Chain A
Amino acid sequence: MSDTPHFLQIKGLRDGLLITLADAPWETVSQALLAHIGERQSFFQGARLALDVGQQALKVIDLADLRDRLSDQGVSLWAVLSESPTTQNAAQLLGLATRLFRPRLQEFEPAPSSMADETALWLHRTLRSGVRVESPGHVVIWGDVNPGAEVVAAGHILVWGRLRGSVHAGAQGDRNAMIAALEFSPMQARIANQEVVISDPKPHPGPKVIAFRDDRLTVDDWQAT
């Protein structure tokens, strides 16, 4: 690796490569990356690549294009790391990982006393099978959560639609977190470190809210308060 362009930093991981891209215009860094890989075909052939794009806000089309071009060169892109929510979202939509290792469940950490920042991730679409959404705050979904989709939030999860996938509210241990949905028939639902037990396999009709009450998780009708 004598003349790695200054836009790229390459590191070996246990099961592939991690390339960190400099904070330069996307056009420039992505071209530099492809050119670099093109020059060293034999080294990169068949590589599993994770890409750290830093602050770049990238759209699905940017990532899809890069992935296809990498794939043309025999490199498979499996993860995109970024600090930008836009990029993380795009990567998740394409089924790419957004972190290198799954975080350990932090269930035994002291629970934060208040909700994280009171910010919410707003998603106006249906989450289909295979999509995983994670947020350090609350999540509001205007659409359905289909079976096979997962939502993990440190705060509340509100689904203005049918909840049929898996959800985990208060994922960092906050037992004040709640789950609410217009139709509640999830594959799995958890708040903090406790599973919601669904005794009746048929969907409960009507909007529901799920919260801890006296140390027990309860499923109640969701009513105006």
Chain B
Amino acid sequence: MGAQVITITSGKGGVGKTTAVANLAVALAADGQKVVCVDGDIGLRNLDVVMGLENRIVYDVVDVIEGRCRLRQAMIRDKRLPELYLIPAAQTRDKSAVSPSDMVRLCDELRGEVDWVIIDSPAGIERGFKNAIAPADRVIVLTNPEVSAVRDADRVIGILEAEEKGSPGLIINRLNPAMVRRHDMLSAEDVLDLLAVRLLGVVPEDENVIVATNRGVPVALDGKSRAGQAFRNIARRLKGEDVPFLDLDDQGTLWQKLSRLTGRKSS
């Protein structure tokens, strides 16, 4: 059995796609899975920075596609986890250096090597996005509880449905339970109500994420971080485990709402 290819996308930029890719990859690899992440943001790479691997780059994804190196040579092994690899994007090229069929070929080759291929999609719905979703078995749409991000997520879900990629999974990132309680932020329920797709997880806003990103140590490695816990739970759900949603709200109401929502979805 080959690897599962998962693409994380959002439409809008800056919602945390790269952070999510790094954290899900780390969480899966820490769980004994063999994982390779592919940075699809050619020309604006940063997955390598978030994973703390930027000074090890020799070859990149365009080198593989254009045949300047073998696949193995472009797979950078993580410092901490032996079964985690990164294929970085090229920084000196642009999206047109890669086509959707190149990505399909690349991922078909990777399927034999690992358990999971996780692709970081660039923002937007143009070429780079199309490259990133072309090889995906499953697509995860990431959004923030913010009207503009949700609007873009809705557009992206529409495109995925039209391209017969199936209904994607949803991760709501950077939810602030205190702001939701004050009605200053959309709740997970509001977002789900509009997007009507399967919820994979809600990641709470957490300052540790910024610290972790700057240090190149994904927060999923930090046992104490709430966001890290949320990412570890999502990784387990990707593996098919039934993991209850985090109780993000001190008063426990959100958890009750979420379990009710997901209960309704699965029934």
Contact = CB atoms under 8 A, between A and B. Distances in A.
Most chain-A CB neighbours within 10 Å: which of B130, B155, B157, B161?
Answer: B155
Interface string A10-28: 0000000000000000000
A60 B155 contact: no
A72 interface: yes
B163 A60 contact: yes
Interface stretch (A35-43, A123-131, A208-216): A123-131
A72 B101 contact: yes
B125 interface: yes
B164 A61 contact: yes
Given A68-B130, A130-B159, 13 more contacts: A60-B162, A60-B164, A61-B164, A64-B163, A72-B99, A94-B159, A94-B163, A128-B161, A130-B155, A130-B158, A146-B154, A148-B151, A164-B194
What are the 6 A-B residue pairs with the smallest beta carbon separation, nearest first?
A128-B158, A93-B162, A130-B155, A129-B155, A129-B154, A72-B99
A85 interface: no
B68 interface: no
B134 interface: yes
Given A64-B163, A68-B130, A94-B163, A128 B100 contact: no
Interface of B: 96, 99-101, 125, 127, 130, 134, 151-152, 154-155, 157-159, 161-164, 194, 196
A4 interface: no
A106 interface: no
Interface in A141-185: 144, 146-148, 164
Nearest to A90: B162
A218 interface: no
A74 interface: yes
Dominant SS among interface residues on chain B: helix
Contacts, number: 57
A129 B152 contact: yes
A25 B198 CA distance: 40
Contacts of A148: 151, 154-155
B211 to A, nearest CB: 34
Contact of A68 (B96, B100, B157, B196): B100
A95 B157 CA distance: 12
A127 B158 CA distance: 8
Q: For chain A, which range describes its interface: under 10, 10 to 19, 20 to 34, or 35 or more residues?
A: 20 to 34
B99 A131 contact: no
A94 B154 contact: no
Q: Name the residue among B125, B134, B157, B158 with the largest chain A CB count within 10 angstroms.
A: B158
Contacts of A84: none
A131 B158 contact: yes
> What secondary structure prevails in chain A residues at the interface with B?
loop
A144 B157 CA distance: 14
Contacts of A129: 151-152, 154-155, 158
Contacts of A127: 158
A95 B125 contact: yes
A68 B101 contact: yes
B200 to A, nearest CB: 19
A93 B164 CA distance: 11
Contacts of B100: 68, 71-72
Contacts of B125: 95
A133 B194 CA distance: 19
Contacts of A93: 158, 161-162
A93 B96 CA distance: 23
A129 to B, nearest CB: 4
A146 B197 CA distance: 14
A202 to B, nearest CB: 13
B164 A147 contact: no
B102 to A, nearest CB: 8
B162 A94 contact: yes
Nearest to B100: A68
A148 B152 CA distance: 9
A96 to B, nearest CB: 10
A125 to B, nearest CB: 8
Contacts of B99: 68, 71-72
Contacts of A94: 159, 162-163
A44 to B, nearest CB: 14
B151 A147 contact: yes
16 contacts: A60-B163, A60-B164, A68-B99, A68-B101, A68-B134, A90-B162, A93-B161, A94-B159, A94-B163, A95-B125, A127-B158, A129-B155, A144-B196, A146-B194, A147-B151, A147-B194
